[in-house]
Structure 1
Amino acid sequence: MTAEPDSRTGVDDAVSAEPAATAAPSPAPDTAVRWPAVIAFVLLACGLAWAVALPLWLGEGLRSPFAGLVLPAMMLTPAAAALVVVFAFRVPARGRARFLGLWPLRPAGRFVLFLALALVVPVLVVVATALLAGALGLVRLDLVGFSGYAAQLAASVPAGSALPPVALLVALQFVALPMGAVVNSVLALGEELGWRGWLQTALLPLGTWPALLLTGVVWGLWHAPVILLGYNFARPDVVGVLLMVGGCVAWGVLFGWLRLRSASLWPAVLAHGSLNAVGGIVFVLVAAGTTPDLGLVGPLGVASWAVLAVVVGVIVLIRQFRPGALAAPRTPAVTPTEGEPR
């Protein structure tokens, strides 16, 4: 969807002080989806994901010694697919950094604000998900003694080893989250360059909501090679894939909004890194002897969908999805050739 540019979008509107007859024209954004490029991107991203995950399928699955290399490598496949279609299909033909959201990083105040939101909101959503699941009886929590986390620590060290107070260790887990988010953002960029950078932007002519939802569906299906091995939900079947699609659609709306509202890819990258960093926090909060069902109470589980629905609902109610608030990517003005007025 193309929004009318205004001071809130942070998108430069190439305006010339010269008369209209001599000014270089500013081309309009694409008004139709370039479906051949979109189909090529989806097939390439998913095909590369299956190819990268093949050693796990031919070996011991997620217990394979190669899993620690395969999973991070798989996160780079959407970026590889995006780069191929950018240069092979020339979508876009120019203004590629702006199209992908890599540049410019302005206005600075808004950019920093959305980076802060990207860092904090996923942590709040995941913690709220655990609290909601506990309130609904989907999982037993211990928010005082953190007995489940204490049991994990005791099992990881030799018997009789002295450990710091578990409450201090829990606090350190939360203190370390910003650094964890930044570290995880390095690999998250590989995904976000493809999903929110290229695919969502390419689908925007369909409208904001169709672009957000379709991008989330593709993102979820892309995970199939590892979900069908039991990754995330321990459900190596179609139910696991559907849970992943639901989680990716829910989070994809939030990440996509960050991308559009900030006119930059980087808040979505940091939000993805923050989600990956806080994803295991439910295991810190559960009571001893409890094995949480991540399909229900995990960061991508059903309870998280409800929390994210509330978050997105608030964003809608405060009119942050209105066209004037969203910065639609634009291609830059044509550079005049030599001898033409600038």
Structure 2
Amino acid sequence: MTFSTNAPRTRPAWGAILAFVVLSCAIAWLVALPLWLGDGLAEPISGVLLPVMMFTPAVAALIVTFAMRVPARGGRARFLGLWPLRPARRVVWLMVLAWLAPPVLVALSILLSAALGWVQLDFTFAAFAAEIEKALPPGTPAPPVVAIVVAQLASIPLAALFNSIFAFGEELGWRGWLVPALRPLGTWPALLISGAVWGFWHSPIILLGYNFGRTDITGVLLMIGGCVAWGILLGWLRLRSASVWPAVIAHGSLNAAGGMIVIFAAAKPDLALAGPLGAAGCIVIALVIVVLLITGQFRQQPELADAPGRLLSPPRS
């Protein structure tokens, strides 16, 4: 695929962008409302509502696509990164990278957390075994904890693919629609703004204590920071491949590997520091971004389609 430098530039469709952000957040709050009216994340229905909430960005993207016609008919599949998948070799290679890299980055964030004293590791898995015993009915013998740990770690690649089904609901909105909609602003504004929106969208459950255990604005700010960091990598996959599918798989892989720290921690960790979306994860992601910058990976972008469906050349960052 050639990298055009003469394709037309367009202005962002701000009306559609605003509508997308408002719709995705409003529908997410609507889905999470039963949790707020009940026992929060302890509500039995939370196991259903959280996956449903993941599809609200896709719903918002489809509304602005078909109701506001952004992008215009004829270039929608290309704009959203659904099709065509070419050059096939690059897309497939980036899908494999997206599948395997997030667990490695999460593992590195755990090691960094241990090195910085943010978490103490326990390879006897005593704390993890205690949590398993709490989850079992009284009197039920627990299987050997080592066997459970091995099974958990071995299942991450398969869980990543399963989680990608739900991650698609988010990625069709964030990296499928929003990133290319913002791309006329430049690569970095598109990645940073879309990441911030992604983080803010989590507010209905973050304010209930999800992820960081903080039920105030600090939890939301922590989520925004983590999503901006990971959003740069997922956005890079989107722009580098001109396809949404690598970002979908990377999101699913991150969700599958995100709980690894609970397995290895000697006590309940502070995820604001030691979690994959906390300080340790952001440091690891920042190092990866520096490597991508040094190697020119953010400058190498194939053409995307703009909102009217025309080819849009990579903007100067």
TM-score by length of 2: 0.91
By how many angstroms is 1:255 displaced?
0.2
Q: Match of 2:240, SS?
A: helix
Alignment of 1:285-300 (within 5 A): 285-287=264-266, 290-300=267-277
Equivalent position of 1:17 in the other structure: none
Is 1:28–1:330's contact at 8 Å kept on the other side of the alignment?
A: no
Q: 1:156 to 1:89 in 2, by over 3 A?
A: closer
2-structure distance, mates of 1:77, 1:160: 39
Equivalent position of 2:16 in the other structure: 37
Equivalent position of 2:155 in the other structure: 176
| Number of equivalenced pairs | 307
By how many angstroms is 1:280 displaced?
0.7
> Which of these residues, 64, 71, 80, is aligned with residue 100 of structure 1?
80
Indicate whether 1:301 and 2:281 are aligned. Answer: no
> Which of these residues, 215, 227, 231, is aligned with residue 248 of structure 1?
227
Is 2:132–2:142's contact at 8 Å kept on the other side of the alignment?
A: no
Q: Match of 1:320, SS?
A: coil
> What stretches of structure 1 of length at least 5 have no aligned partner?
12-26, 335-342
> Which of these residues, 231, 253, 262, is aligned with residue 210 of structure 2?
231
Alignment of 1:144-293 (within 5 A): 144-157=123-136, 159=139, 161=141, 163-164=143-144, 166-287=145-266, 290-293=267-270
Structure 1 outlier segments of 4+, above 6 Å: 331-334
1-structure distance, mates of 2:189, 2:269: 33
Amino acid at match of 1:81: A
Equivalent position of 1:330 in the other structure: 305
By how many angstroms is 1:110 displaced?
1.3
Q: 1:89 to 1:28 in 2, by over 3 A?
A: farther
Post-superposition CA distance 1:203-237 (Å, at most 9, x none): 00000000000000111111111111111111000
Post-superposition CA distance 1:160-213 (Å, at most 9, x none): 83633x434323222211110011011100000000000111000000000000
Amino acid at match of 1:312: I
Is 1:29–1:330's contact at 8 Å kept on the other side of the alignment?
A: no
Q: 1:159 to 1:140 in 2, by over 3 A?
A: farther
Is 2:112–2:280's contact at 8 Å kept on the other side of the alignment?
A: yes
Percent of residue pairs bearing the same amino acid type? 56
Post-superposition CA distance 1:234-254 (Å, at most 9, x none): 100000000000000000000
Equivalent position of 1:73 in the other structure: 52
Q: 1:135 to 1:70 in 2, by over 3 A?
A: same
Is 2:113–2:280's contact at 8 Å kept on the other side of the alignment?
A: yes
> Which of these residues, 74, 85, 89, is aligned with residue 109 of structure 1?
89
> Which of these residues, 112, 118, 123, is aligned with residue 138 of structure 1?
118
By how many angstroms is 1:68 displaced?
1.3
By how many angstroms is 1:152 displaced?
2.8
Q: Match of 1:161, SS?
A: coil
2-structure distance, mates of 1:83, 1:29: 25
Amino acid at match of 1:108: A
> Which of these residues, 106, 120, 124, is aligned with residue 126 of structure 1?
106
Is 1:220–1:241's contact at 8 Å kept on the other side of the alignment?
A: yes
TM-score by length of 1: 0.85
2-structure distance, mates of 1:126, 1:204: 28
2-structure distance, mates of 1:30, 1:44: 27
1-structure distance, mates of 2:305, 2:214: 42
By how many angstroms is 1:292 displaced?
0.5
1-structure distance, mates of 2:35, 2:226: 24
Amino acid at match of 1:295: A
Task: Mark the structure with the bigger radius of gyration.
Answer: 1
By how many angstroms is 1:286 displaced?
1.0
- Pick which of 250-259 and 169-178 moved more: 169-178
Q: 1:98 to 1:298 in 2, by over 3 A?
A: same
Is 1:258–1:267's contact at 8 Å kept on the other side of the alignment?
A: yes
By how many angstroms is 1:28 displaced?
4.7
2-structure distance, mates of 1:30, 1:217: 24
How large is the RMSD of aligned CA atoms in angstroms? Answer: 2.1
By how many angstroms is 1:29 displaced?
5.3
By how many angstroms is 1:296 displaced?
1.2
